[in-house]
Amino acid sequence: MKTVLTLIAIMVLCGLPTQAATLPPVKRVEMRAEGLYVNGKPFFPVGIGWAGHWHHSMPEASAMGFNLVATHGLNTNVASFRMDIDDAWANGMYAACSVTNGVWQDLERLEQIVLDCRDHPGLLVWELEDEPNHPNNPYKFPPEDFEPVYELIKRLDPVHPVYINLAVGRLKDHQDYAHVADIHSDDYYPIPVASVTGVVGYADSIINGSGKLGWQWIQMCPLQEKPHNRPPTIIEARCMTYLAVSRGISGINYFAFHYMGKDWTWWVTDNPATYAQWADLTAELKRLTPYLVSPKAPGEIKTEMTEGPEGGLYTSLRQTETGYFLIAVNGATTPMKARFTIPVPERKFAPQAAVRSENRLINVTDGVFEDSFEPLAVHLYELPFSTEGAPDRNTINWPRWQRRPRGN
């Protein structure tokens, strides 16, 4: 209780919401090309691992703004799976009900779990075995082992998708497992030994290999032993998040709320400043859901580097009812400057675009504009269609949260 009260105090001081937004009961889940829809409305999963009922961290995870949590029942206790979903739902989050650790191998028990949980208003998806393709996984299983499992779940519960998380980021693995899940994900945990841009290859393998909706697991905690056991900075995490989204990923999970090494334990709540930064990131992702779950814009964006290295900038151009939305990510550890040329739609663009989360406008002329990027920086541009007269903050529906700059 003391931890939760401390976190609430931090959120009040930082101007963050102290309660999770109320989610509607899940009645229908649709998988469209651009992402997930719950009850006909776009939903962008912002999930967290190792925060479920048995990890005693649901209230804190909810206060941080996560809208999805991996839930794990006790293997031999069928009722415990619904109890864990109950806990997620009571704390304002949907559940990804996991039947990992071999639970799925007992089809009779799995049938009982599905029948017991399928009508729960907080159930979003079912998760199969975690990392079944990992070369070091003692529970390594080939895709054909999951065929009767997938068939059973879909027969008993056609409402909720089935998702599977693979490892290593291999295109062929996602091809091989494509037929046993509706949603594919992979995990990429590079800090501090590899580049954040490695997530691009993983995301591409998910999307191109499976041909299904793709989610990405992003590193949140330290995973190396001392003295290298540092978590990613919020700049690194935000960069990896939007790198994945720029490649077509339509849901993000973070690993993990806490982690234990040989002689140390890490909790995200240990550092109040870090906690507030993560809460800011989850809030941003949820606010941007209509843009993140939107189709690609027609035509190809042209990017010219005017300063800095070539090849380090990643972009994704989306179309909404009111305009275009551009995600631009500097994956390099050096600054850069770029000129963007966006195909001008029939309705044309307004002369200024809003840079979301940065409290600034930028001039756009015939679809062309320039901007500078710090190392690993993310810029999110809202380019509204032209209206009569130059747009001001009201014309482009500048939201209240954007008037106060946030630290990245």
Three-class HEC string of 260-272: ECCCCEEEHHHCH
Residues 6 or more apart from 274 whose CB is under 8 A from it? 231, 234, 268
Q: What is the pLDDT at residue 399?
A: 42
- Is residue 246 a contact partner of residue 316, using CB atoms and an 8 Å limit? yes
Among 293, 291, 315, residue whose Cα is nearest residue 302: 315
Cα–Cα distance between 7 and 1 in angstroms, integer?
10
Q: Cis bond leading into 256, ω under 30°?
A: yes
Residue 228: both structure tokens together: 């290298």
Among 135, 133, 157, residue whose Cα is nearest residue 145: 133
Q: What is the pLDDT at residue 405?
A: 41
Residue 374: both structure tokens together: 């710090």
Q: What is the pLDDT at residue 289?
A: 98
**Nearest-5° angle of CA 239, CA 242, CA 248?**
145
Cα–Cα distance between 210 and 283 in angstroms, integer?
29
Q: What is the pLDDT at residue 54?
A: 66
Q: What is the pLDDT at residue 226?
A: 86
Q: What is the pLDDT at residue 391?
A: 44
Among 284, 358, 354, residue whose Cα is nearest residue 324: 354
Element (H, E) at 48: strand 46-48
Residue 386: both structure tokens together: 């032209």
Domain 302-403 class, CATH top level? mainly beta
- Is residue 133 a contact partner of residue 180, using CB atoms and an 8 Å limit? no
Among 342, 382, 390, residue whose Cα is nearest residue 366: 342
Look at residue 83 and give its three-state secondary structure: helix
The single residue listed with the structure tokens 């469209």 is 32
The sign of the torsion formed by the CA atoms of 304, 308, 312, 314 equals negative
Backbone angles phi, psi at 293, to 5 degrees: -105, 70
DSSP track, 190-222 = -TTTS-TTHHHHHHHHIIIII-SEEEEEEE-S-
Per-residue pLDDT of the chain (408 residues; tens, 9 = 90+): 444 445 555 455 445 444 456 899 999 999 999 999 999 999 999 999 999 766 679 999 999 999 999 999 887 899 999 999 999 999 999 999 999 988 999 999 999 999 999 999 999 999 999 999 998 876 689 999 999 999 999 999 999 999 999 999 999 999 999 999 999 999 999 999 999 999 999 999 999 999 999 999 999 999 988 888 899 999 999 999 999 999 999 999 999 999 998 899 999 988 888 889 999 999 999 999 999 999 999 999 999 999 998 889 999 999 999 999 999 999 999 999 999 999 999 889 999 999 999 999 999 999 999 999 999 999 999 999 998 544 444 444 444 334 344 443
Residues 6 or more apart from 242 whose CB is under 8 A from it? 327, 329, 378, 380
Look at residue 358 and give its three-state secondary structure: coil
- b/e map 379-390, b = 16+ CB within 10 Å: bbbbbbbeeeee
DSSP track, 122-178 = TEEEEEEEESTT-TT-TT---GGGGHHHHHHHHHH-SSS-EEEEE-TT-HHHHHHTG
- Is residue 363 a contact partner of residue 370, using CB atoms and an 8 Å limit? no
The single residue listed with the structure tokens 């949590």 is 69
- Is residue 246 a contact partner of residue 314, using CB atoms and an 8 Å limit? yes
Measuring CA to CA, how many Å separate 148 from each of 154, 185, 309? Answer: 10, 20, 50
Q: For the beta carbon of residue 30, count every other beta carbon within 10 angstroms.
A: 14
- b/e map 325-335, b = 16+ CB within 10 Å: bbbbbbbbeee
Domain chopping of the chain, boundaries:
2-292, 302-403
Q: What is the pLDDT at residue 74?
A: 86
Could you name the CATH architecture of 2-292?
Alpha-Beta Barrel (3.20)
- Is residue 163 a contact partner of residue 183, using CB atoms and an 8 Å limit? yes
Cα–Cα distance between 262 and 149 in angstroms, integer?
35
Q: What is the pLDDT at residue 400?
A: 39
